[in-house]
């Protein structure tokens, strides 16, 4: 028996990066997985490769959530795991941040997480079981310049995770947040218009002297989805190579 046998998991933003790494591990641990994304071609091919089901889901769209959760229920039964992983990044100074850019980041990262939780919770409460994993960031714990919108959205995810956890704690539904440090995915290149980004500048600043890999975050997400984390709710799980252990006067590299 896999660690996730009996789990029906919906993972957003799972066509690539950390979502894809989690989806792969979930299938290996016996979960029935729905890979959801807006990148339909990549998502479908990936889902087929790992033996998952693909579903188009723009997390910022309320109606998409309703129909996606209905489809998961038709295909595998009601989801008892939700990984709110889809996210986007935008760099600009506070004074140069256009409202449209701010709202785009908040609509996907923050509103998407809210809509996802709100859509799956009734089914989880009815079943008396569920685990929701909200992917925040170290920017949900600490600040970085040029990331007003992203940081706002990731602090909001951390906060609403705790509200949901408290409301659902006696109903069998657990809600936790995950806070990755810098992980080697398409997130930064996408924010820079698709350009490759050399992450060696960041590696030097990490106490472990390297950025993280998507598979290292997937292990944490598997734990939180599984019954191994049965007493964990409303908590923050950090995987950042030691970055948030330091304050800004610390010197690394
Ligand atoms: N990579 C990092 O350094 C890092 C660090 C901390 C937190 N995170 C968070 O981890 C999560 C996963 O990011 P990643 O690093 O794998 O990035 P990624 O860009 O590789 O993957 C993000 C995925 O989300 C999808 N997506 C974007 N907008 C969407 C929408 N509206 N609806 C559905 N899907 C959408 C993209 O198509 C993509 O497949 C994000 O929430 C990100 O903020 C990443």
pLDDT tens-digit map of 189-213: 999 999 889 999 899 999 999 999 9
Q: What is the distance in A from the centroid of ligand 1 to the CA of 109? A: 9
pLDDT score recorded for residue 91: 97
**Is 1 a domain residue?**
no
> Is 150 a residue of the active site?
yes
What is the mean pLDDT of the segment spanning 178-189? 96
Q: Which atom of ligand 1 is nearest to 217's Cα? A: 10
pLDDT score recorded for residue 249: 86
The pTM for the full model equals 0.98
Q: What is the distance in A from the centroid of ligand 1 to the CA of 60? A: 13
Any atom of ligand 1 within 6 Å of the Cβ of 19: yes
Domain count, the chain: 1
Q: Read off the pLDDT band of 252 (50, 70, 90).
A: low
Any atom of ligand 1 within 6 Å of the Cβ of 43: no
Q: Provide the residue range defining the domain that includes 80.
A: 8-245
**Is 251 a domain residue?**
no
**Is 166 a domain residue?**
yes
**Is 252 a domain residue?**
no
What CATH number has the domain bearing residue 31? 3.40.50.720
Give tens-digit pLDDT for 37-89: 999 999 999 999 999 999 999 999 999 999 999 999 999 999 999 999 999 99
pLDDT score recorded for residue 81: 99
**Is 253 a domain residue?**
no
Whether pLDDT at 253 is above 80: no
Q: Do the Cβ atoms of 171 and 128 come closer than 8 Å? A: yes
Whether pLDDT at 35 is above 70: yes
**Is 139 a domain residue?**
yes
Q: What is the mean pLDDT of the chain?
A: 97
**Is 174 a domain residue?**
yes
Nearest to 112 by CA among 130, 92, 132: 132
**Is 19 a domain residue?**
yes
């Amino acid at each position: 028996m896999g660690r996730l046998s009996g789990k029906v998991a919906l993972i957003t933003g799972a066509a690539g990066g950390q979502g894809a790494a989690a989806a792969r591990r979930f299938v290996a641990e016996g979960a029935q997985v729905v890979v959801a994304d807006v990148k339909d071609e990549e998502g479908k091919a990936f889902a087929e490769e790992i033996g998952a089901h693909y579903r188009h889901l723009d997390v910022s769209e309320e109606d998409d959530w309703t129909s996606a959760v209905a489809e998961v229920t038709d295909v595998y039964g009601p989801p008892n795991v939700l990984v709110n992983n889809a996210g986007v990044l935008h760099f600009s100074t506070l004074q140069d941040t256009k409202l449209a850019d701010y709202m785009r980041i908040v609509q996907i990262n923050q509103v998407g997480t809210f809509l996802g939780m709100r859509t799956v919770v009734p089914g989880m409460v009815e079943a008396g079981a569920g685990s929701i994993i909200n992917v925040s960031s170290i920017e949900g714990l600490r600040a970085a310049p040029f990331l007003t919108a992203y940081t706002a959205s990731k602090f909001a995810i951390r906060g609403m995770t705790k509200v949901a956890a408290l409301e659902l704690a006696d109903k069998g539904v657990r809600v936790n947040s995950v806070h990755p440090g810098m992980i080697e995915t398409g997130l930064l290149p996408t924010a820079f218009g698709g350009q490759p980004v050399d992450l060696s500048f960041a590696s030097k600043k990490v106490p472990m002297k390297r950025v993280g890999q998507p598979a290292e975050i997937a292990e944490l997400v598997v734990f939180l989805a599984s019954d191994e984390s049965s007493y964990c709710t409303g908590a923050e799980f950090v995987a950042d190579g030691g970055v948030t252990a330091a304050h800004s006067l610390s010197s690394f590299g």
